[in-house]
Amino acid sequence: MTTVAQQRVLRTAIPGPLSVELHQRKLATVSAGVGTGLPVYVERAGGGILVDVDGNQLIDFGSGIAVTSVGNAAPRVVERVQAQVADFTHTCFMVTPYEEYLEVCEALADLTPGDHEKRSALFNSGAEAVENAVKIARHYTGRQAVVAFDHAYHGRTNLTMALTAKNMPYKHRFGPFAGEVYRAPMSYPFRWPGGPADCAKESFDVFVSHVHSQVGADNVAAVVLEPIQGEGGFIVPAPGFVRQVADWCAEHGILFIADEVQTGFCRTGDWFASEHEGVVPDLITTAKGMAGGLPLAAVTGRAEVMDAIHGGGLGGTYGGNPVACASALGAIETMREEDLCGRARAIETIFLPRLQALAERFPQIGDIRGRGAMLAIELVRGAGDLTPDAALTAAVNKECHTQGLVILTCGTYGNVFRFLPPLVASDDLLAEGLDIFEAAFAKAAG
Ligand code: PLZ
C-alpha cells in the first residue's frame, strides 16, 4: 500500500503541464457534457491529499463530493477490496448471492435510525437509490404523488431530475420529466422572507398548506427530504422542521424518505443527520460515504414496506457488487473503530471559529451553516444586501485551486462554499487548508 505524506506540495503551476496535456486529450475524447471542476489529473491519493501527475500534492476539502469520508485509499478499504477482488468480482446477487451483501444490509439495519425491523436493497448510485425508494413508496401506499423541496438535489436520472430543483446544469433541455412530482418551499432560514425566526415558525405551515392545496395529502405516496440539503447549498432547515414534516407524513399515511446520500455515515457528526431531531424515516437512502469510494447505494426501510414488493421487483445487474460491499464493510469498520462521528464534531469546532472570524472581516459572508464536517458559507454582496455573489465565489474558488486546495461550491445561486474534508484529515492539514482558503478569500474579496 502506498502512503501519501499528509502535506501540500506545489511543484508546478496548477494545473501542471502533464495535467494540461491530459486535459487536451479529455477534450478530444470525453463528452463536453461531463465537466471537471479542477482539471488536475490525479495519480494517487491517500487520507486528505491528492497527488497529481505533475507531482503536486493538493489538500482535499471535497472528498470527491462527500465520498471519501474515511480518507482516500483508506487502509481497511484497500485491504478488504484487494482480498475480495482476488476471491471473486461478480456473480450478480440476483443469480447467486454472497455473504458480503448481507453484511452490508445488517450494518445498515444496525446503524440507521430506529430499532424496528428493517430490510435493505442495494444499488449502484444515489440516484438509483432515490428512484427505488420512490418506486417502493408508490407500490406500498398505492398512491402516486411525490413531494420534494425547493433547492433539492436527488440525482440525474429521469425521475430524480424531476425531484431535483435546479435547472442549470442538471435539467436544462433534458425533459420531459417524470410526472406526479410536486415541489414545496424549503425551510431556508437565511432567505426566509421574514428572517430566520419567522422561518422556524412558518415554514412547516407553508409546507402543509402547499401540499393540501396543490396535491392533496391523500394522493401523496412520499415526501423526499435531505435533512441538510447538499447540492442546493448546504441548507439546514429551521430547527424542528424535519421532525414536523416526518410526523405530519405519519399522520397522513405518507412515507417519509430521508435522502441521506450526502449527509449519511458520520458526515454531520451523527451516523445519520435525521438523528439530530430524533427522526426515524420510513425509508432512508444512502450512498457516497458508505462505501469509501466504490459505487454502492442502498434503500433501507421498515420491513413491512420493503417486504411488500413482489419478488424480483427490485434489483439490477451490479447492485450490491461484492467488491463495493467489501469496500463498504472496510469503510464502516473504519468509522466505528476511529469514531469518525466524533471526529466530524471535532472538525466543526476547528472550522467554525475560523469561518466566524473570516465573516467578521468580510461582510460578503452572509451565512455560516452546517453540522459536523458538512459546513458551508453563503456569499452575498455585503451587509444587508443578500444578493448572491456567484462571481466572488468563483474568484475565491479559482484562487484556492491555484494554491493547491481542492474545494467545492454549491447552491442554487452558485454562491456557497462547502467544506467536506475527509474525516481522517489531521488538525494540521485542516488548518493549512483553512489558511489557504482565508488568504484566497482576502485576495479575491479585498
Ligand atoms: N441525493 C442528497 O447529494 C449526489 C452530485 C454530483 P449519485 N450529489 C452529488 C453531480 O453533479 O452529479 C446526490 C446527493 C443526494 C442523491 C444524489 C445522487 O447520487 O450517486 O450521484 O447518483
Q: Give dist(CA 29, CA 406) in Å, integer.
A: 24
The number of angstroms, rounded, from the C-alpha of 377 to the middle of its chain's C-alpha atoms is 16
Class of the CATH domain delimited by 76-337: alpha beta
* CA 81 / ligand 1 centre spacing (Å): 23
The model's confidence at residue 384, banded by pLDDT at 50, 70 and 90, is: confident
Q: What is the mean pLDDT of residues 358-386?
A: 96
Q: What is the mean pLDDT of residues 218-223?
A: 99
Q: Give dist(CA 146, CA 134) in Å, integer.
A: 8
- CA-297 nearest atom, ligand 1: 20
Which residue's C-alpha comes closest to atom 6 of ligand 1? 65
Within 8 A by CB and 6+ apart from 354, the residues are: 434, 438
pLDDT at site 328: 99
pLDDT at site 220: 99
What is the CB-side half-sphere exposure of residue 222 using CA atoms within 13 A?
Answer: 26
Q: Give dist(CA 407, CA 405) in Å, integer.
A: 6
- In short, whether 66's Cβ falls inside 6 Å of ligand 1 is no
103 phi/psi in degrees, rounded to 5: -60, -40
Q: For the segment 222-250, what is each residue's pLDDT rounded down to a tens digit?
A: 999 999 999 999 999 999 999 999 999 99
Q: What is the mean pLDDT of residues 129-148?
A: 98
Could you tell me which of 63, 116, 135, 154 has the C-alpha nearest to residue 312?
Answer: 135
Sequence spans of domains, the chain: 17-73+339-445, 76-337
Which CATH number is associated with domain 17-73+339-445?
A: 3.90.1150.10
Could you tell me which of 4, 85, 87 has the C-alpha nearest to residue 46?
Answer: 4
pLDDT at site 383: 80
Average pLDDT of the chain is 98
* Alpha-helix runs per DSSP H in 257-321: 303-306
Pairing of strands 408-410, 118-123: unpaired
Q: What is the mean pLDDT of residues 353-373?
A: 98
- In short, whether 130's Cβ falls inside 6 Å of ligand 1 is yes
The model's confidence at residue 446, banded by pLDDT at 50, 70 and 90, is: confident
* Alpha-helix runs per DSSP H in 222-262: 241-251
**Taking 80 as the threshold, does the pLDDT of residue 424 lie above it?**
yes
Q: What is the mean pLDDT of residues 312-319?
A: 98
pLDDT at site 1: 58
Q: What is the mean pLDDT of residues 388-412?
A: 98
**Taking 80 as the threshold, does the pLDDT of residue 60 lie above it?**
yes
pTM (whole model) above 0.85: yes
Q: Give dist(CA 264, CA 259) in Å, integer.
A: 9
Which of 63, 154, 236, 418 is the pocket-test mutation for ligand 1 (most atoms within 8 Å of CB)?
A: 154
